[in-house]
Amino acid sequence: MTEIEKTLENKGVRPTAMRILIYKYLAEKEVAIALTDMENAFSKADRTTLYRTLKTFEEKRIVHQIDDGTNISKYALCEPGCNCEMEQDLHLHFHCDNCDETVCLTEHKIPHINLPDGYVAENANLVIKGICDKCSGQ
Amino acid sequence: MTEIEKTLENKGVRPTAMRILIYKYLAEKEVAIALTDMENAFSKADRTTLYRTLKTFEEKRIVHQIDDGTNISKYALCEPGCNCEMEQDLHLHFHCDNCDETVCLTEHKIPHINLPDGYVAENANLVIKGICDKCSGQ
DNA sequence: CAATAATTGCACTTCCGTTGCATGAAACAA
DNA sequence: TTGTTTCATGCAACGGAAGTGCAATTATTG
């Protein structure tokens, strides 16, 4: 049993061949992945399967969904031991307007915000837009 | 010539009857408005007109677009004298998971973030999700 | 092995954003 | 004023992405 299979089982997801492939794909990309990206990468697999796999992964905290302002949902693997919902694990994301890629900046946590009376914060999403290191480097 | 007409002209937008109505509608709501909301409010007007009016307003810095994570674009009037693009004018938004409304917290600016080398920030979007004052109050 | 449950694939729907083109209204020039 | 141009509006349609129902396949369990 491989590392990935163990990981999936620990999270309560049956490690099917398809899911292992999808997990590997997400692991080797360092950018957030949209459903369309997956469709292109797995032309043999059905869109629905990819869609539902991502939803399952999200539900089981294997990936987190990223909303980078493009109105296209993207996904990235959670860090080992991450609790995406906890305030201390909420990192920010960077979207490059040039190459259109979105990356997790896991080291950069979202600062705590004091809200007006009556507002109860449960989650937060911070996206910085601009030019990424690869595109600005040249 | 009314205040609204002056405002529109100052921003370089011809103050047509339709646009004045739309501006008024945005002004009297304190929440961010989606295109669908406008369709319901202006059942006589065409969707495209509302859509293009919002785009024109956005371009001329009369409204700013808000991406609250619902994958539905929303819009709200800019503060007088606001430069939506400037870092000091970037405020955060709050999305209530109960009533599904999104509001501008114009007093709460997005804190400055130090990015890794090579990353150039040009814009930022911070959305806090949770329960708003109206929904938590009771 | 049979019976059950979970996964995958196909077809289809819905919703939102967007565009092309024709019509109508307003501004402008003669 | 009339004619011309420019801009605004309305209608129709497209396209992408998210989501759902159901049948078929595969895995798990007894």
For residue range B35-60, list pLDDT tens digits in order: 999 999 999 999 999 999 999 999 99
What burial class does residue B128 get, using C-beta atoms within 10 Å of its C-beta: 0-12 exposed, 13-18 middle, 19+ buried? buried
State the pLDDT at residue B54.
98
Number of domains chain A contains:
1
Of A138, A72, A127, A71, nearest to A95 by C-alpha is A127
pLDDT at B111: 93
Contact call for residues A104 and A32 (beta carbons, < 8 A) = yes
Q: In the beta sheet, which residues pair with residue B127? A: A125, B93
The partner residues of A63 in beta bridges, in order of sequence, read A77
Which one of A74, A101, A104, A113 would you mutate to disrupt binding with B, by most B Cβ within 10 Å of its Cβ? A113
pLDDT at B84 over 90: no
Number of H helices, E strands in chain B: 5, 6
Chain B 1..30 CB hits on strand D (< 7 A):
13-14, 16-19
pLDDT digits (tens, 9 = 90+) for A29-80: 989 999 999 999 999 999 999 999 999 999 999 999 999 999 999 999 998 8
pLDDT recorded at residue B85: 72
pLDDT at B138: 55
Q: Is A118 on the interface with B (CB under 8 A)?
A: yes
What is the domain extent for residue B10?
Answer: 3-136
Read off the CATH number of the domain in which A127 is found.
1.10.10.10
Strand order in the sheet with A120-131: A102-109, A91-96, A120-131, B120-131, B91-96, B102-109
The region of weakest confidence among A62-66, A111-115, A119-123, B80-84 is B80-84
